[in-house]
Amino acid sequence: MKNPLSQQILFLKVKNQDPEAYGQFYDLYVKRIYRFIYFKVNSVSDSQDITSEVFLKLWQYLREGKEIKNLNAFIYIVARNLVVDFYRQRRQEALSINADKAPEIIDGRSDILKEQMVDSDLQATIKGMDRLKDEYKEAIILKYFDELSISEIAEILNKSKGAVRVLLHRSLKALKDNINE
């Protein structure tokens, strides 16, 4: 983006249902939304399907004239809800990936070796992330991967800013503990 105002203009165009602008919006957000979903569902094909659905769903909301104050936060809310739906459909517990799923997760990460990611620190970080509670994962992704503000994270997670700060602190601590185990 050229500058924050250009981004605001892009959002405005998106809200006014300009398809070309929506294409640019997709380019801007697709990687981070995919990543947000991927850490929740741990499957490439499911992440792809849900990511596609997020962008289509958001477009439908725009077409219906739904009031969207903060597009930057709203798209994560849509993604979050669709992941919940995804788990509900599969009759699994929403938002929680417990230790029982570790083999699946590790299997899902087998491409680590394919990508020759020999750095053991990185492998440990990924495994540490996998073992985190879902809300910790979300907080870390939103804050440290996507660099969202505390107030945006609060809006997405439907928590107060203070609660988000506490959550971030606990998330990092839990991740460190996981890595050091």
Residues near other proteins, by CB under 8 A: 2, 5-6, 8-10, 12-13, 16-24, 26-27, 30-31, 34-36, 38-39, 44, 47-48, 51-52, 55-56, 59, 63, 108-109, 111-112, 115, 117, 119, 121-122, 125-126, 129, 140, 144-145, 172, 175-176, 179
Q: Which helix (H) or strand (E) holds 99?
A: none
Length of the chain: 181
Tokens 């997760």, located at residue: 105
CB contact at 8 A, 110 and 99: no
State the nearest-atom distance from the C-beta of 96 to other proteins, in Å: 19
Is 67 or 91 the residue whose CB approaches other proteins more closely?
A: 67
State the nearest-atom distance from the C-beta of 25 to other proteins, in Å: 10
How many angstroms separate the Cα of 160 from the Cα of each of 31, 112, 114? 27, 36, 41
**CB atoms inside a 10 Å sphere around CB 170:** 14
Is 95 or 112 the residue whose CB approaches other proteins more closely?
A: 112
CB contact at 8 A, 47 and 37: yes
Is 100 or 121 the residue whose CB approaches other proteins more closely?
A: 121
State the nearest-atom distance from the C-beta of 169 to other proteins, in Å: 10
State the nearest-atom distance from the C-beta of 91 to other proteins, in Å: 25
Helix, strand and coil content of the chain, in percent to the nearest 5, comes to: 75, 0, 25
Cα separation, 86 vs 123, in Å, equals: 27
Is 81 or 144 the residue whose CB approaches other proteins more closely?
A: 144
State the nearest-atom distance from the C-beta of 153 to other proteins, in Å: 15
